[in-house]
Structure 1
Amino acid sequence: MLIDRLWMGGSVLLLAALMIRLVSRDRLREMWAVLLTMQGLKWLLGALKAQFHLAAFPKRLFPFATQQDFATDFAVCPSLAVVYAVIVNGRSPRDRLLITVAFAIAFAVWSLAMTRWTNLQVHHRWSFGIDFLCVLILLPLSTRIGSWIVSETREREGAVRLHGSQSAH
């Protein structure tokens, strides 16, 4: 039980420290969009894993509220997506691909270690290869959706400001 709490607490604290260190104030809105997008995507994936009994989560933070792993789906992966989004910003497509693969491997290794050393997750019909592929797809997807949300919002805010200033004359 102690190792489970240390594992999740340490993972969340490490990623929180990285986010605080890496995210600049001018990109805060975009990073919130990335975080919330990844939370939504991981919630859906986690719900499917739990409902189809692909994995079990014997130790859950909110056992009566959800069947899935709250800490991984709502804290670890979204935080990882924010760190990823900061690091890949402005990189070449080749560098983005290499960074994406590195992050997917890191998450798969983290997930493997979690299932081996803790009682937080048991894979029934799930594998680390699937974890790797999911993160390989979800990281760029959440980053792209987050950037799109922010760019659409900025365009609308600019149009409202422009329209508002014209109607004032």
Structure 2
Amino acid sequence: MRGYATDVSKASDPLIRPFGEHDEQKASLRALQESTIGLCWVGAEGKAVPFNAAEFAGIQKEIVDLQGKIDNNSSVLEKLDAKVAELELTEFSINKLKGEIEKRRGQIAQIRAEESDSMRSRWEAVVSLGGNRGTYDKLPEVIEARAKAAAQIEPLESEIKAFNGQIRSLESILSKFKR
């Protein structure tokens, strides 16, 4: 897809790998089909007659099985390509989506750390006066800082949820790919 299957750095992506595998399956089919020619001779009627009927039948079964996989996988890859277009993904990559999720999680961790650091002096003051977590949690400054952090985190969590939904929908299609 878009040359990604031949790019080693991208070819390992779960979304790209099936395209390369599909190409390999088609190459294997061609090789099997060509090898059947060597297993036959042409009879007086102009029809192929196998030297060894059992071996020929075995290869014919492999060809039929492989052709079934290729037909199935062609359909799966078309659906996958359509889903990527529907999702309007700029990168044809599940790993990229997972990277975006990790990036958002890092941003959330940073927001929480900043909130915690900004309230550290309040916590220390509460503890020095003999207070506890309950007292600290009721401070207006703490409530306000947590609300501010939650407002910053909410859209990031929504993005993570959307990315996870995209990954699940792509993986659902990929699960139908036959190897």
TM-score by length of 2: 0.30
Q: For the pair shown, which has the larger CA radius of gyration, 1 or 2?
A: 2
Greater relative contact order (Cα < 8 A, sep 6+): 1
